[in-house]
Amino acid sequence: MNEIYLILVVVLFALAISDLIVGVSNDAVNFLNSALGSKAAPKWIIFGVASLGVVVGATFSSGMMEVARKGIFNPDMFVFSEIIIIFLAVMITDVILLDMFNTFGMPTSTTVSIVFELLGSAVAVSVVKIKRLGDESASVLGDYINSDKALLIITGILLSVVIAFTIGAIVQWITRVLFSFKYDKRFKYFGAIYGGIAIAAITYFMIIKGAKGASFMSEATVDYIKTNMITIMVASFVVWTTLLQLLRWLFKIDILKVIVLVGTFALAMAFAGNDLVNFIGVPLAGFESFKAWASSGAPADGFTMEILSGKVKTPTFMLLIAGLVMVVTLISSRKAQSVVKTSIDLSRQSEGSERFGSSALSRMLVRSSVRITELNHKFLPNRVTKAIENQFDPVSVNDNIAVADRPAFDKLRAASNLIVASILISIGTSLKLPLSTTYVTFMVAMGTSLADKAWGRESAVYRISGVFAVIGGWFLTALIAFSVSFIVAQLLIWGGFYAIFAMVAVALFVIIRTQVVFKKRSARDKEIDEDTIDQNINTAIVLEKCNKNTVKAIIATSKAYFLCFEGFFDNDRQQLKNALSEAEDFNQKAKKLKDTVYKNITKLQKDSVDTGHFYVQVVDYLREMAHSLYFIVSPVYTHFENKHKPFNEDQVKDFNEFATDLGEFFNHALHILKDEKFDQLDELIKKRGDLFVKLKKLEKSQIKRIKAKDVSTRNSMLYFKVITETKNLLLHLINVVKAQRDFIIETTEQTESEE
């Protein structure tokens, strides 16, 4: 029997490694978004500093392990066999849950997930145990579960969200009023003092979050730090202010860059020191339980777990191993970069393509804020209003820098993010409040974005919707973690060892499956970015890319159209799904092109080319083509999914004859665009006219079938819908070719005349 439980402990540690990987991918947003968003340093330096912080912080984790052993449930009420079930359910659920959030680029709290997973699995085991003992009283559950801890966590979520956002906005507003966006001149005189205050605050944060829990720190040292905290802080301020001023005089060092890198190190250290328990605390508790049970000689279902109520020092080497796994993941994980990108996109200063749509609540908040702003303008003197607004005038963007290389926001805001987050987490820790580093850092970043007017009239509704989506995901984390862990624990109890290995296999399958989904999404996003025209390129490349985009659009349209009807006629669901995916991808690309129209027109005008209206036409018609294609494929897929009657033989035959001519039309359009044979456009228009005649015949044939009652209502609705949208598709395709012809010819002529 010992061997079986030893295998289960090994499984726990294997799950812990997986959990470390998916957990770091999610929590990387906590300490990377400010440095990466502001481009404070090259990526290799940022990742190097963060990795060092993770390794240092990993050695500070030992004092934080209590939550995994006794924070949520009372271990003395459970026996060894039950404790192992609880821990296995927690780890299986955590791996699946965090990996799902990472796949969709949504940051969540690993602290909240682990707490509610422990709660869910412990409740499941407690319920079964109470029934076995024959006591049906629900009040008995309170003897097993520390429910006050869960309630405190929920309160901490609400407080951290509101307080972090509000304080972040206030501090950044004051900072911007003092320094403005053109802060270089003022930083010559006050930069060292600002840096001294900032790094002193971050130092306090590192001491509060690190030293007290360090596995190598003696109690005497910790007591000395507590007693002399004020002296340490004053000394830190004086030393850092002096050092930064000297470095600025001697080496012209950028003080804000130093603050951002120190803050990144501090938050990375805090993450490893605080959140490492979320990944390895449970397996370590399981290992301690196994050692105690194995040495006792008692049966697994008769050995109670009082040992978990005491304090246990975790070996430093185990913490360092976990830290190294985290570092490798941090550097190599593409999912981590995806989660960080969500945070940066929501807080970037510039406008552009928005990931989230608007919602009724976001629109209401924007309307309210506009009214409040208008009221402030009425009550405040014009001189005061104008002086404040001048401080918020953004610095002009350097067009010679590629869009991908431009910072999402400046280093002053990045420094504010790190300082405010550090102070708030330090205060929360000192007061023993259950704060989530993810929630605090994310909401501070959103608050500073609001204060910096990054959420302008053009983007506010989308950014606010995105913030609500992320916050909603946080609360769902608690609900999903509890529910799934409860169910998994129940399955493990009922199914025994077979269920344990089956659930581990399920977790492995989910990870592999989500990795496939993530790769597909990443490949699609990369392709969309490649098709998008960057603002810093020249007119010739704009022409070339625009032509490539129109060619790709027609190829995508042809592929999706024929995949759709081949799948529909052959009763092939997968082919229909592929067609719908192609249509959706084309729609996304067309939308991204539409979102970047303004920037590309600006580029053309800067090159003294006045043909931007033709480019606008090309993009508009591509968008309309995408809509028409989607309105063909989507109804066909829905009709098939709902198991409505398919087309009959006559309909299929008529449509296939039409499709043959349609394929020739698409090929001719591609030939004209690829080889720029625009003199053949009249011939293409004639072919479109012939296709219109054939579509009219298809309509008449369908009307005859309706009169003869050979087809159903839904069949007819779909048939006419396809015909109508196919007409629209053909109209927009010709317009795309015309607009592309005019864009190429007129732009080429203007460019040559300029030379």
Amino acid at 630: Y
Q: pLDDT confidence of 724, banded at 50, 70, 90? A: very high
* pLDDT (0 to 100) of residue 646: 85
Above 50 in pLDDT, residue 32?
A: yes
Query: What does the alpha-carbon distance between residue 242 and residue 235 come to, in Å, rounded to a whole number?
Result: 11
* pLDDT (0 to 100) of residue 420: 87
The CATH number of residue 720's host domain is 1.20.58.220
| Tens of pLDDT, residues 401-432 | 555 567 878 888 888 888 888 888 777 766 66
Q: Are residues 724 and 621 in the same domain?
A: yes
In a domain, 266, yes or no: yes
**Average pLDDT of the chain, as a whole number:** 79
Q: Are residues 561 and 518 in the same domain?
A: no
Of the candidates 205, 209, 208, the one whose C-alpha atom is nearest the C-alpha of residue 273 is: 209
Of the candidates 322, 434, 312, the one whose C-alpha atom is nearest the C-alpha of residue 65 is: 312
Distances in whole angstroms, Cα of residue 109 to Cα of each of 106, 169, 684: 10, 22, 57
Lowest-confidence pick of 431-435, 471-475, 594-598, 682-686: 431-435
In a domain, 362, yes or no: yes
In a domain, 286, yes or no: yes
Q: Are residues 410 and 556 in the same domain?
A: no
423 Cα distance to chain centroid: 25
Above 60 in pLDDT, residue 42?
A: yes
Above 60 in pLDDT, residue 383?
A: yes
Above 90 in pLDDT, residue 731?
A: yes
Q: Are residues 465 and 581 in the same domain?
A: no
Q: Are residues 504 and 536 in the same domain?
A: no
The answer to whether 256 touches 187, Cβ cutoff 8 Å, is yes
At a CB cut-off of 8 Å and minimum separation 6, what does 374 contact? none
Query: What does the alpha-carbon distance between residue 693 and residue 657 come to, in Å, rounded to a whole number?
Result: 13
Q: Are residues 699 and 601 in the same domain?
A: yes
Query: What does the alpha-carbon distance between residue 479 and residue 499 come to, in Å, rounded to a whole number?
Result: 23
Token code pair at residue 359: 């919602």
* pLDDT (0 to 100) of residue 297: 76
Distances in whole angstroms, Cα of residue 465 to Cα of each of 15, 107, 352: 34, 15, 15
405 or 7, higher pLDDT: 7
Token code pair at residue 197: 């205050």
Q: pLDDT confidence of 137, banded at 50, 70, 90? A: low
Query: What does the alpha-carbon distance between residue 229 and residue 197 come to, in Å, rounded to a whole number?
Result: 15
| Tens of pLDDT, residues 232-291 | 888 888 988 898 888 888 888 888 888 888 888 888 877 776 666 667 777 777 788 888
Of the candidates 82, 432, 27, 86, the one whose C-alpha atom is nearest the C-alpha of residue 281 is: 86
The answer to whether 484 touches 476, Cβ cutoff 8 Å, is no
Q: Are residues 191 and 86 in the same domain?
A: yes
Three-point CA angle 33, 329, 117, nearest 5° = 85
Q: Are residues 275 and 420 in the same domain?
A: yes
What percent of the chain has a predicted confidence (pLDDT) above 70?
79
The pTM score is 0.74
* pLDDT (0 to 100) of residue 65: 47
Residue 608 region by backbone torsions, left for phi larger than 0, else alpha for psi between -120 and 50, else beta:
left
Token code pair at residue 501: 């290995």
* pLDDT (0 to 100) of residue 253: 85
| Tens of pLDDT, residues 517-535 | 767 766 666 665 555 555 5
* pLDDT (0 to 100) of residue 637: 92
How many domains, the chain? 2
Q: pLDDT confidence of 310, banded at 50, 70, 90? A: low
Q: Are residues 161 and 240 in the same domain?
A: yes
Q: Are residues 558 and 591 in the same domain?
A: yes
Q: pLDDT confidence of 635, banded at 50, 70, 90? A: very high
Q: pLDDT confidence of 730, banded at 50, 70, 90? A: very high
Above 60 in pLDDT, residue 399?
A: no
The answer to whether 278 touches 114, Cβ cutoff 8 Å, is yes
Above 90 in pLDDT, residue 729?
A: yes
Q: Which of 495, 522, 549 is the last residue of a domain?
A: 522
Please list the residues that pair with 55 across neighbouring strands.
none
In a domain, 70, yes or no: yes
Q: Which of 492, 522, 552 is the last residue of a domain?
A: 522
Of the candidates 622, 635, 648, 663, the one whose C-alpha atom is nearest the C-alpha of residue 723 is: 635
* pLDDT (0 to 100) of residue 136: 56
* pLDDT (0 to 100) of residue 63: 46
* pLDDT (0 to 100) of residue 64: 44
Please list the residues that pair with 145 across neighbouring strands.
73
Q: Tell me what the mean pLDDT of segment 312-330 comes to.
A: 72
Amino acid at 466: G
Q: Are residues 448 and 562 in the same domain?
A: no
* pLDDT (0 to 100) of residue 727: 93
In a domain, 318, yes or no: yes
In a domain, 233, yes or no: yes
Above 70 in pLDDT, residue 715?
A: yes
In a domain, 527, yes or no: no
Query: Of 205-209, 451-455, 486-490, 530-534, where does the model show the most confidence?
Result: 486-490
Q: Are residues 451 and 556 in the same domain?
A: no
What percent of the chain has a predicted confidence (pLDDT) above 90?
8
| Tens of pLDDT, residues 665-690 | 999 999 988 888 888 888 999 999 99
Q: Which of 499, 522, 545 is the last residue of a domain?
A: 522
Largest CA distance in the chain: 96
What Rg value do the Cα atoms of the chain yield, rounded? Answer: 31
E-assigned strand segments in 526-575: none
Per-residue exposure over 577-609, b if at least 16 CB sit within 10 Å of its own CB, e if not: ebbbebbbbbbbbbebbbebbebbbebbeebeb
* pLDDT (0 to 100) of residue 526: 63
Query: Of 120-124, 457-461, 721-725, where does the model show the most confidence?
Result: 721-725
Distances in whole angstroms, Cα of residue 536 to Cα of each of 45, 306, 398, 542: 26, 66, 9, 10
Provide the 3-class DSSP secondary structure of residue 706.
helix
Cβ burial of 372 (10 Å; 0-12, 13-18, 19+) is exposed
Above 90 in pLDDT, residue 752?
A: no
491 or 315, higher pLDDT: 491
Which domain covers residue 241, as residue numbers?
Answer: 2-522
* pLDDT (0 to 100) of residue 498: 81
444 or 101, higher pLDDT: 444
The answer to whether 76 touches 305, Cβ cutoff 8 Å, is yes
Instruction: For the beta carbon of residue 121, count every other beta carbon within 10 angstroms.
Output: 34
